Amino acid sequence: MSNLSGKQGLIVGVANKRSISWAIAQAADRAGARLALTYVNERLEGNVRKLAETLTQPPVVLACDVTQDQQIDEVAAGLDREIGGLDFLVHGVAFAPREAITQPFLQTTRGDFQVALDISAYSFVALARAVAPLMARRGGGSLLTLTYLGSERVFPNYNVMGVAKAALEASVRYLASELGPQQIRVNAISAGPIKTLASAGISGFSDILSIYRDRAPLRRNIDAGEVADAALFLLSNAGRAVTGEVLLADAGYHAMGL
């Protein structure tokens, strides 16, 4: 297992115990990291604080609505105050209005498009900008986000989220280029479909799971724990030479034509 002893990390995007971000938080905690977690609003604060209590080292818990630059700045200030520096960030935030993933892509409104791109892609850029000074103080760090194959291929009812994930992956490459001189690495994991709060809103998701299971080289679906293990590699010194990468963790489904 990758070692994160002595590392300090921020996990953004924990909603409940089924969140991929939470699986990564648990794995990072077991690997020895000291964590900070965020919650988006009062409705989810209780969930996050309850989960936080189960970690080995009590984490810092902070409010962060990623659509608000002031709250992002307050998170960075809170991290500076509470732990003094940062070694890694996990960005697990994505959202599109329901209409934008249930109606044809051609019908996507300007407002829904802006919301999807703002929360799912721009928030990674905004968070990176806020925490980069904290990482530079530690001699470098690792930024990690979560994406999906819908960025490259058309999946039914994914629609504007596919466009947002494409923008997110491009952002990974541009951030990797700009932050590399500070020894800050930037990567993404493109995970196979997993039952989460977010995936529950995608019509026909069960069919997608079945297709992956039938056609992926490993003939199975993946679980959040496997994504977390891949994340530990990219967050730890084991992945110190990897940046600007989108790592596919999908049982090999992406390699198949039919």
Where in the sequence numbering do the catalytic residues fall? 148, 158
Locate 12 and state its tokens.
């953004």
Q: How many CA atoms lie within 13 A of 116 on its CB side?
A: 24
**Hey, is 146 helix, strand or coil?**
strand
**Hey, is 248 helix, strand or coil?**
strand
Q: Counting beta carbons within 10 angstroms of the beta carbon of residue 211, is it exposed (0 to 12), middle (13 to 18) or buried (19 or more)? A: middle
The answer to whether residues 243 and 176 touch, using CB atoms and an 8 Å cutoff, is yes
The amino acid at 76:
A
Can you tell me the distance from the alpha carbon of 29 to that of 48, in angstroms, rounded to the nearest whole number? 15
